Amino acid sequence: MPAHAKKLLLANVWGVQCRQEVTITDFAGTVVRGDLLLQEECSECLGDVARVIEMK
């Protein structure tokens, strides 16, 4: 993954618990039905953040 794309992925994540955009600190990606599912940790509240990145 290109560094700039990775940086984009790590920024502007909606934190469900924070109810604001947060920066994530760690993530693990798994591919689910062709899409990338990221399971992440919010840097603000350490809550779980999950989202799906469509890989076209």
CA distance 42 to 48: 6
Q: Among 19, 25, 15, which Cα is nearest to 49's? A: 15
Residue number with CB closer to Zn ion (9 or 22):
22
Q: Token pair of 25, please?
A: 């600190």
Residue 9 interacts with Zn ion (CB under 5 A): yes or no: no
Q: Token pair of 4, please?
A: 């700039």
- By CB under 5 A, the residues from 15 to 44 that bind Zn ion are 15, 17-18, 22, 42, 44
Q: Which one of residues 5, 45, 50, 52 is an interface residue with Zn ion (CB under 5 A)?
A: 45
List contacts with Zn ion (CB under 5 A).
Answer: 15, 17-18, 22, 42, 44-45, 47
